[in-house]
Amino acid sequence: MPRIVVLGAGFAGLWAAIGAARKADEIGPRAREVEILVVDRNPYHNIRVRNYEVDLSEAAIPLTRLLDPVGVKHIAAEVEAIDPAGQQVVVATDGRRETLSYDRLVLTLGSELVRPAISGLAAHSFDVDTYQAAVKLDEHLAALGKREPSDARATVVVVGAGFTGIEVAAEMPARLDRAGVAGKRRIILVDPHAPIGSAMGAHGQPVISEALLSLDVEARCGVKVNAVDGSGITLSSGEFIPTETVVWCAGMRPSPLAGTLSGEHDGHGRLVVDEFMRAKGLANVLANVFAAGDIACRMLGHAHATVMSCQFARPMGRYAGYNVVADLFGEPLLPLDIDWYVTVLDLGSWGALYTEGWDRKVRTTGAAAKVTKQTINRERIYPPRSGSRADLFAAAEPSVQRPPKTQT
Ligand SMILES: Cc1cc2nc3c(=O)[nH]c(=O)nc-3n(C[C@H](O)[C@H](O)[C@H](O)COP(=O)(O)OP(=O)(O)OC[C@H]3O[C@@H](n4cnc5c(N)ncnc54)[C@H](O)[C@@H]3O)c2cc1C
């Protein structure tokens, strides 16, 4: 029985696995015997983009609910090594190693936060990179609410003012409210570049400034972090900020396993894939390897490549799933083309910012953009949870959604 192994059950991996099952079903009896096996270190699908939110209760969905109805197997294990020449991967569960062979591999191990070797950072900081990390921050904030008032208790320092850092900082007033950290609070966003939000373009940046000002989020621009300890954070300017809560949001990189493979990589270390999501370069060795999501890079026309975002990860996953089965059974592959790009940035109780295009034209702001953001985070990117095979297959169709609707 041929086996397809999908590594990772995030936005790309989940849809690659369901998309593969869908295509096998479509081909009919000769393909139905294919085994599709998903390996992820967690037994759930994390709606990772929600990890900064006040309420995490819907941010992790058991894989059993999503994969069992479509006959996809899954194991919770750490992927340790990939051997494309031998067509096998090494995985570990509770320290026990196992080698899994495959006929086709889909690499969807995503990305991870960059954690530089700053003194005290690992021991004294939080992040929202994974569901577990988000829950840890949540529990910490809840515990803060029960402690004696102090400046350090009432101060949150968010490091890195990329999209995630801005969303974490903007959501923090609501999170502190919920945790019962009342009175005078300080939320400080630290970034080596100025001004905060410049990545959102000349039109979007002032919107972010206005929102952060109204939320009382302070900025420290043009500085780096020298050290973190249990009492606070020291910046390269020499400033020491007493705090019990440092949230590290600076930098993302593809899964380190991408770097262990030969083949073509982009400047971020992502595996370059062709229009069918096949890993490019050294075709003889990697012919059986597909990749999608944050670990992969696909050129869109000549000027732009996919960015690490669920907007690209989900369709890349659906096409990788379709194509890996089509490839295995000698059917034509489907090329992926995505002709739009938008960004919808959450700005907490102020609202949100919706920009369109690579030049980030502002489409909507404030409450109108927030409706779009909530629709994306709570509906659009969710897999059907009905447990219905037909619903899951319908959602895994290899197609590209149109951009999210705007509100007026
Ligand atoms: C707080 C936050 C907010 C974000 N907001 C947005 C947003 O608004 N819009 C947007 O488009 N994008 C956003 N992103 C980015 C988005 O979440 C990613 O682009 C998306 O998750 C990529 O999907 P993926 O499937 O490639 O990777 P992931 O979703 O990261 O999935 C990878 C999977 O692989 C598993 N895995 C990794 N390594 C191993 C291993 N060695 N062994 C076993 N399992 C492993 C992980 O457990 C995970 O389930 C945000 C990210 C964060 C953290």
Q: pLDDT tens, 177-233?
A: 999 998 899 999 999 998 999 888 899 999 999 999 999 999 999 999 999 999 999
**Interval between CA 132 and ligand 1 midpoint (Å):** 13
What residue owns the CA closest to ligand 1's atom 19?
A: 309
The answer to which of 210-214, 299-303, 343-347 has the lowest mean pLDDT is 299-303
Is the pLDDT assigned to residue 285 strictly greater than 70? no
Query: What's the CA-to-centroid distance between 279 and ligand 1, angstroms?
Result: 19
**Residues 6 or more apart from 16 whose CB is under 8 A from it?**
6, 106, 108, 290, 292, 317, 318, 320, 321, 324
Phi-psi region of 392 (alpha: psi -120 to 50; beta: other; left: phi over 0): alpha
Centroid of ligand 1 to alpha carbon of 1 (angstroms): 31
Question: How far is ligand 1, taken at its centre, from the CA of residue 257, in Å?
Answer: 15
**What digits encode the pLDDT tens for the residues 373-397?**
999 999 999 999 999 999 999 999 9
Query: Could you tell me which of 110, 168, 133, 132 has the C-alpha nearest to residue 308?
Result: 110
Contact 230, 237 (CB under 8 A): no
CA 116 – ligand 1 centroid, Å: 19
From 129, 297, 309, give the residue whose CB has the most ligand 1 atoms within 8 Å, as the site to mutate: 309
How far apart are the CA of 155 and the centre of ligand 1, in A?
28
Distance CA 361, CA 342 (A): 9
E strands, 118-208, are 155-159, 186-191
Q: Distance between CA 336 and CA 315 in Å, rounded?
A: 8
Residue nearest to atom 46 of ligand 1 (CA): 8
332-343 mean pLDDT: 96
Over range 136-142, report the average pLDDT.
98
Instruction: Tell whether the model's pLDDT for residue 286 goes beyond 70.
Output: no
Ligand 1-lining residues (CB < 6 angstroms) = 8-13, 40-42, 46, 48-49, 51-52, 78-79, 108-111, 128-129, 164, 255, 293-294, 308-311, 313
What's the pLDDT score for residue 283? Answer: 53
Position 95 scores a pLDDT of: 84
The answer, as to whether pTM is greater than 0.85, is: yes
